Amino acid sequence: MNGKGEERALRETLPEWKHVNAHASFWAVRHYDKKNAAMDPTLPAGGGRAGNLNDDKAIGLTFSFDPANSKTATIVYLSGDKNIFQNVQKNLFPLEAEPGAREMHVRYREVERGIVEGSYDLDHIESAELFVFFLEGLLGHAIYL
């Protein structure tokens, strides 16, 4: 920490950097390391243990939220699977029965093949709490009950 590093933790050439708003109040980048797939239950690769999202070609994801400008958070999911849209749409946030899910007004769009952007309205406290719970898992900080 006291010395200058030669390289950032996540190198600038990762495709995730093109899809995150690093000027937002809250943002995150996660690049999946497939070498640890057998030991990391939060990875969608290597058996699909990250919820219901099973994607052996998972690359990573980004998160952006700037509540001063909008009450909508954004997650961009990147995959080498060019047909990932329906899988992400159905399984990234499996929320149907959860309190606050309906008010989140989840919307997905395909930015390009293999890249899906999700938008999540966080106006209601129940929606925000539910979103943060799932986001922690997506970022590798899952809570198992």
Q: What percent of the chain has pLDDT over 90?
A: 56
On the question of pLDDT at 143 being above 60, the answer is yes
- Who's near 35: CB < 8 A, 6+ residues apart? none
Task: Quick: pLDDT tens for 124-136.
Answer: 999 999 999 889 9
In a domain, 9, yes or no: no
Q: When comparing pLDDT for 46 and 114, which is higher?
A: 114
Q: How confident is the model at residue 113 (pLDDT cuts 50, 70, 90)?
A: very high
Range with top average pLDDT, 80-84, 91-95, 102-106: 80-84
User: Cα separation of 32 and 36, whole Å?
Assistant: 9
Residue 15 covered by a domain: no
Give domain status of residue 10, yes or no: no
| Structural domain includes residue 17 | no
Residue 144 has pLDDT above 50, yes or no: yes
Higher pLDDT, 28 or 13: 28
Q: What is the mean pLDDT of the chain?
A: 86
Q: What is the rounded distance in angstroms from the CA atom of residue 32 to the CA atom of residue 48?
A: 13
Boundaries of domain holding 85: 25-138
Of 99 and 10, the one with more pLDDT: 99
Number of structural domains (the chain) is 1
List, for residues 28-55, the tens digit of each pLDDT value. 999 988 787 777 878 887 654 556 788 9
Asked whether the beta carbons of 26 and 131 are under 8 A apart, the reply is: no
* Radius of gyration, CA atoms only, the chain: 15
In-domain check, residue 85: yes
pLDDT of 8 reads 65
Residue 6 falls inside a structural domain: no
